[in-house]
Amino acid sequence: MRASGKAASGGRFLTIKDVPVAGRRALVRVDYNVPLDGDRIVDATRIRASLPTINYLIEGGAAVILMSHLGRPKGRRDPRMSLRPVAATLAVLLDRPVRFVADALGAEAAAATAALQPGEVALLENVRFYPGDEANDSEMAAALAKHGDLYVNDAFGAAHRAHASTCGVADHLPAVGGLLMERELDVLGGLLASPQRPFVVVLGGAKVVDKLGVVSALIERCDVLALGGGMANTFLAAQSCELGRSLVERSLVERAAALLTAAQRRGVAVLLPQDLVLAGQARTGVPTLVAGSDDVPADLAAYDIGPATMVAVADAIATAATVFWNGTMGVYEVPEFARGTAAIARAIAAATRRGAVTVAAGGDSLAAVAAAGLEEGFSHLSTGGGAALELLEGKVLPGVACLDTGPAGRP
């Protein structure tokens, strides 16, 4: 069955629930780009997030062939980035055997996946061991497509990449979204389409250049925009604060100023840090000092939001019906500068408890949520950092645009 169009044309994509799966070989792109310590998986969140789709396909009578990238092997086989340990963890989580196929291409891999029976699961080796994946090479896409007769993209975290395994493969097979892809698009798309108000956005992190697009897009949607972390410094500089040795991107100060003006025109309340935690360097054991944002000594740098700012942002969150958070409020890796981030995570968890819709995205932000033991305190923790931000910026995600739409696709 070939559906009638591609999601690129604006239609809602089909999911595995819209197509027959019994007796089919489902080639599923997942995001198993997990943190490894040797061959130990430090955090299996991304593997867990793939289980609903895999279980749905198994129960529906499909054979499941999984493919993913891991790390940046740059087109060459690198045993440190093998998916073999992931197959072992997945087998435990699924409570059934997972056949690890030590190649993603080639005759042996093809034979292994051709022999797979309904209800069986195989995981191919890292697709980025081949240069054709990131190059979105059409021959690589065609070769991958031979493993299945239905393509399922459940790799939301890689959906902003136009690679052979995320996107090119959809030229050769019927292509639908998995359950994780559907949930991510529903939740994040919902923030753009119809957020319950007040909608409070909290953005932090180090690199302001990564965040200008999302600031610009969310100014059009939110009621309160709270900025923290290193990126807030550039906005403070736009308000003529002298910030000593803090990270400030001088070349972006003018754009930051323009965004502040745009926010004001839209009636969005912008919360910039009123006070900051300062030190000579971001290292554990250093002496720290709290100062007003317009009172930073020349030889110190800001590494966290101060206590007055924590209260102001938490107060805003306390009024919110919807919260989106990305980017830590400080150098959370160093305990001295982790308090602001932890305070914001706790404030959001409290908002969730009283019924607010709360969403966090980003590798470091989610690591901070986990470190605070607050994973259950959010309505949704996105598995995609870059993909989530690009979606909220209004960009088309190639891994979604390549999926089929059809008569069964909901608008």
Q: Which residues are catalytic?
A: 46, 207, 363, 386
**What does 383 bind: ligand ADP, Mg ion, none (CB cut-off 5 to 8 Å by kind)?**
none
Q: Do 304 and 337 touch, CB atoms closer than 8 A?
A: yes
Angstrom distance (rounded) from CA 376 to CA 349: 8
What minimum distance in Å lies between the beta carbon of 384 and ligand ADP? Answer: 10
Neighbour tally for 285: CB within 10 Å = 7
What minimum distance in Å lies between the beta carbon of 364 and Mg ion? Answer: 4
SS3 161: coil
Q: Kindly tell me which of 82 and 326 has the beta carbon lying closer to ligand ADP.
A: 326
Position 227 contacts ligand ADP (CB under 6 A)? no
The token duo for 375 is 């994973």
Q: What is the largest CA-CA distance in the chain?
A: 69
Q: Do 53 and 152 touch, CB atoms closer than 8 A?
A: yes
The token duo for 143 is 């070769």
The token duo for 253 is 């100060």
Q: Kindly tell me which of 198 and 386 has the beta carbon lying closer to Mg ion.
A: 386
**What does 149 bind: Mg ion, ligand ADP, none (CB cut-off 5 to 8 Å by kind)?**
none
Position 157 contacts Mg ion (CB under 5 A)? no
Q: Kindly tell me which of 205 and 377 has the beta carbon lying closer to ligand ADP.
A: 205
Position 360 contacts Mg ion (CB under 5 A)? no
Letter for the amino acid at 356? A
Contacting residue, 132, 168, 177, 362, with ligand ADP by CB under 6 A: 362
Angstrom distance (rounded) from CA 92 to CA 382: 23
Q: Kindly tell me which of 75 and 363 has the beta carbon lying closer to Mg ion.
A: 363
What minimum distance in Å lies between the beta carbon of 160 and ligand ADP? Answer: 13
What minimum distance in Å lies between the beta carbon of 299 and Mg ion? Answer: 28
Q: Shortest CA distance to 235 belongs to which of 217, 258, 219, 253?
A: 253
Position 229 contacts ligand ADP (CB under 6 A)? yes
Stretch of 15-23, 89-97, 126-134, 199-207 contacting ligand ADP, by CB under 6 A: 199-207
Contacting residue, 249, 364, 390, 404, with Mg ion by CB under 5 A: 364
Residue 198, preceding peptide bond in cis (omega within 30° of 0): yes
The token duo for 411 is 């608008």
Contacting residue, 206, 252, 317, 359, with ligand ADP by CB under 6 A: 206
